[in-house]
Structure 1
Amino acid sequence: MTGSIRERTRARWNIALLMWAAIAINYLDRTVLSATAPELMKEFGLDAAQMGLVLSAFFWSYAFFQIPAGWFADKVGQRISLAFSVAWWSVATMLTVVSQGLKSLMLFRILLGVGEAGAYPSNAGVTAKWYPDKERARVSALFDSGSKVGTALAMPFVVWMMTAFGWKVPFIVCGFLGLIWVAVWWAYYRDPEKHKYINQEELSYIRDGQIKKDGLDAKQPMKWYQLLKYRNILAMCVGFFMLNYAIYFFITWFPTYLVEARGFQLMKMGWVSMIPPLVGLVAELAAGWFSDRLYVKGYSLTFVRKLNLVGGMLLASTIALAGLVDSAVWSVVLLSISFGGLTTAACAIWSLPGDVAPRNMTSVVGGLQNCVSNIGGILGPIVTGFLVSATHSFIPALLVSGAATLIGALTYLFWLGKVEPIQLETKTASDMAL
């Protein structure tokens, strides 16, 4: 009798790898301009202030288009939305080679942000459709870990191509990688009920393990802005804002900190700057696995999510101590612990949209929290730059980042309520923020 039971297929893990690849390419393409910035400044005669405008142009369109991208993903399905998103940003990356100066560089950078806005909301929607609740944290950790791989590998990979072939080649190669991904995604991805490589055993395993079953119809129960009435949605937005405020220090100012505050030479800085993202990669994958194991053992979803969120943000507060120690080595150690804490929280952050969103609105919720979080990402580098200029020290800036992570921990601990899907029919006063 046992021999007649078919083994479950594992199509969902192939899709997880494709989501991971999309995020890795996403970060590779957004980082290529940073790596080629010195050559572009020489080519077009740009000063530091003008280059700063070019670099920041991406984040404004990226943040603004999060909610429309999430709405689009839930409306037409993630097969279309993610393919469209990756194709858009890949073409925008390749078109950068025809730039003639400041205005055209900013235009292509803005277009890149529009395209890349669809990646995380689409992945959140795919995760809600394709994985039982007990696997959601590790899948979120897996696809988000692509950002750490993309960040860690982008610099040496892009610099090598630029040195060997000129600054235009990295844009063409990185854009072409995205178009290859689109072809594979379009050929392979379907929603679970329509996927040709899934059997009934795997489909039943997915659906039986979900409290909320996304994608079985296309009806959305509310407008996106109505989500802001709910306590958990607001807490998710504020908490993610605080995380991104801190994590953008690593994306923008960390190399400068190593050179100016800690005296690293450029080549050594390049290698050392890879350490926190690699620590973050390991921490995120481990945290996602551990979170799912606790859920399987019977701990509540609220407990396992808050353990990652609060614990991770508290660990991340070590960024405040990094500027206070005398040793450059200990500073890097503390910053690596901080980055690991931020990624520990991140795997739970990208599980939450699938946990709490109303039916067929997971991508919208993911886009909404990512929109607010990227406002923190925009403000963080600006505030850091102002504090460093005013005080001639990174210590105040690192203390502010540490304070942000503590506020984030308190937000997730006290403001975030029970982690469960929003049910319109059973709204109570405790569910509502207002």
Structure 2
Amino acid sequence: MLTIVQVNLSVAIIPMSNQLHWTASTAGLVQSSFFWGYTLSQIPGGWLARWFTGEAVLAAGVFVWSVATAAVPLAASFIPSLIFSRLIVGLGEGVSPSAVTDLIARNVPATERSRAVAFVFNGLNVGSVIGLVIAPPIIEHFGWESVFYMFGVLGIFWCIGFKLSSEWSTTWEAWDRGKLENLKSNYSEMELHGNFRKHPHGGAPLTNHEKIPWRAFFRSSSVWAMIYTHFCGNWGHYCILAWLPTYFSEELNLSLTNAALVSVVPPLGGIFVSSFAAPMADHLISKGVDTTFVRKLCQTIAFLSPTAGMTLCSLDPGLSPWVTASIITSSLAFSSFSLGGLYCTHQDISPKYASILLGITNTAGAIPGVLGVYLTGVLLDHTHSWTMALFAPCIIFWVTGAIVWNIFASSEPQSFEE
């Protein structure tokens, strides 16, 4: 659902721009405003997930962005109100990654973590596929406003179903009986030392020493490697997600429906790639291969594969539209190797603080959504070159991200005691 909402705007922005007479810079500003809220809620989302449990934070976040999504058509004619509604959508969505990371870190052992991360975060690819497939016909038959109303209402119904589901009662009953087996399998004895108390609202267990070691986080070179790698990876992800349908429509002269259908290939391919990349990573770790080596290998593939595809299309602009689309989309699919790389490292180095660490790195990772998506539109207006506006920045960040990751990243457990 989260990615469907983002994809809806990347498709709807084309008829919205035509109807409301927006320039590429304005369209970029509207798309980037989502990430203003998304950036602000990352670290608070990690802290809230640690305090109230990931389940509660996830449900609250979905409800907020669902209501704000349904309000987009009402606000679209006035840019400040539209930007504000998208900012609220970003606030609601921003707490979700940390909430999910908290659930994985507390319940999944290291030898199964790649598959768990891939399964959960592959929902982003599934959402992209669904959004890109169904949004164009809905827009063509009922107008661009309809997709925002529909998915806003669906999100609200999801919240109601999630709250009433047996997962809530099962989780709370487990805490009431004091069952900490899942925690003991993931937290070190040092992290479990001391008395646990249950939050009055049924939240996650808290130690008597609840001070978050912020300074220790930022003294770790591994954390800084994750921060920069997350920034680089998301520069490519968010800019491509926002502008690829427009690129296919305007540069390759594909219809709205065809542009959206071609844009389905990267997330669809990502699902396929992660289906063997994640088990491969877990298999190597279970066989005794160094965890850090496995994470570095996966993330390097995730960066250099799309780099090769983008570079080829940039150096040979004479390729036919369908060949260009095939190269770009197939190479982007390999970005899903990051689900066995960066996205597992937060849990590797500290299950206890995994949600907060993801909040920190995802804050940096959200900045490209604010700057990159908007800057792509500005560069496109000034250079009229998709290579300069979209491809070149992505290539630069993917290459430098791979270098930093291989030099400084580590999956060795860290206590972060100050």
Instruction: Classify the TM-score, shorter chain.
Output: 0.7 to 0.9
Contact 1:284/1:346 (8 A) holds in 2: yes
Deviates more, 1:400-409 or 1:258-267: 258-267
List, as ranges, runs of 4+ consecutive aligned residues in structure 1 with deviation greater than 6 Å: none
Contact 1:132/1:207 (8 A) holds in 2: no
Counterpart check, 1:106 vs 2:83: yes
Deviations 1:169-189 (A, max 9, x none): 322321222223223333333
CA gap 1:193/1:308 in 2 versus in 1, 3 angstroms: same
Contact 1:240/1:369 (8 A) holds in 2: yes
Equivalence for 2:9: 33
Deviates more, 1:291-300 or 1:80-89: 291-300
Equivalence for 2:197: none
Deviations 1:237-287 (A, max 9, x none): 001111111222321222233344444344432322211221122112321
Question: Whole-Å Cα distance in 1 between the matches of residues 171 and 376 of structure 2?
Answer: 48
Aligned residue among 400, 409, 417 for 1:416 = 409
Contact 1:28/1:150 (8 A) holds in 2: yes
Equivalence for 2:281: 291
CA gap 1:344/1:421 in 2 versus in 1, 3 angstroms: same
Q: Helix, strand or coil: the match of 1:317?
A: helix
Contact 2:10/2:241 (8 A) holds in 1: no
Q: Percent identity?
A: 26
Counterpart check, 1:363 vs 2:355: yes
Question: Whole-Å Cα distance in 1 between the matches of residues 286 and 341 of structure 2?
Answer: 16
Counterpart check, 1:217 vs 2:206: yes
Question: Whole-Å Cα distance in 2 between the matches of residues 416 and 124 of structure 1?
Answer: 19
Aligned residue among 390, 393, 407 for 2:385 = 393
Deviates more, 1:202-211 or 1:316-325: 202-211
TM-score by length of 2: 0.84
Counterpart check, 1:334 vs 2:344: no
Alignment of 1:80-229 (within 5 A): 80-99=56-75, 101-186=78-163, 187-190=165-168, 194=172, 207-208=184-185, 216-218=205-207, 219-224=209-214, 226-229=216-219
Deviates more, 1:166-175 or 1:34-43: 34-43
Equivalence for 1:345: 338
Aligned residue among 41, 57, 61 for 1:65 = 41
CA gap 1:211/1:66 in 2 versus in 1, 3 angstroms: same
Question: Whole-Å Cα distance in 1 between the matches of residues 47 and 182 of structure 2?
Answer: 28
Question: Whole-Å Cα distance in 1 between the matches of residues 47 and 183 of structure 2?
Answer: 24
Contact 1:133/1:211 (8 A) holds in 2: no
Q: What code does the residue aligned with 1:108 have? A: S
Contact 1:138/1:289 (8 A) holds in 2: yes
Question: Whole-Å Cα distance in 2 between the matches of residues 224 and 192 of structure 1?
Answer: 33
Equivalence for 2:195: none
Equivalence for 1:22: none
How many angstroms does 1:383 deviate by? 4.3
How many angstroms does 1:140 deviate by? 1.0
Counterpart check, 1:258 vs 2:248: yes
Question: Whole-Å Cα distance in 2 between the matches of residues 45 and 36 of structure 1?
Answer: 14
Q: What code does the residue aligned with 2:129 have? A: A
Equivalence for 2:263: 273
CA gap 1:327/1:250 in 2 versus in 1, 3 angstroms: same
Contact 2:51/2:206 (8 A) holds in 1: no
Deviations 1:342-371 (A, max 9, x none): 221244222122112362x22111111111
Contact 1:120/1:366 (8 A) holds in 2: yes
Q: What code does the residue aligned with 2:158 have? A: W
Question: Whole-Å Cα distance in 2 between the matches of residues 225 and 165 of structure 1?
Answer: 52
Contact 2:10/2:243 (8 A) holds in 1: no
Question: Whole-Å Cα distance in 2 between the matches of residues 48 and 182 of structure 1?
Answer: 35
Question: Whole-Å Cα distance in 2 between the matches of residues 331 and 131 of structure 1?
Answer: 40
Equivalence for 1:8: none
Question: Whole-Å Cα distance in 2 between the matches of residues 40 and 178 of structure 1?
Answer: 23
RMSD: 3.1
Contact 2:186/2:351 (8 A) holds in 1: no
How many angstroms does 1:38 deviate by? 4.8
Q: What code does the residue aligned with 2:349 have? A: V
How many angstroms does 1:90 deviate by? 1.0
Equivalence for 1:76: 52
How many angstroms does 1:226 deviate by? 4.5
Q: Helix, strand or coil: the match of 1:323?
A: helix
CA gap 1:43/1:386 in 2 versus in 1, 3 angstroms: closer
How many angstroms does 1:58 deviate by? 0.8
Question: Whole-Å Cα distance in 1 between the matches of residues 330 and 14 of structure 2?
Answer: 30
List runs of 5+ in structure 1 lacking aligned partners.
1-24, 428-434
Deviations 1:101-142 (A, max 9, x none): 223222211111111101111111111012111111111111
Question: Whole-Å Cα distance in 1 between the matches of residues 379 and 79 of structure 2?
Answer: 27
Deviates more, 1:66-75 or 1:247-256: 247-256
Question: Whole-Å Cα distance in 2 between the matches of residues 40 and 336 of structure 1?
Answer: 25
CA gap 1:338/1:223 in 2 versus in 1, 3 angstroms: same
TM-score by length of 1: 0.81
Contact 1:149/1:281 (8 A) holds in 2: yes
Question: Whole-Å Cα distance in 1 between the matches of residues 26 and 251 of structure 2?
Answer: 24
Question: Whole-Å Cα distance in 1 between the matches of residues 15 and 254 of structure 2?
Answer: 22
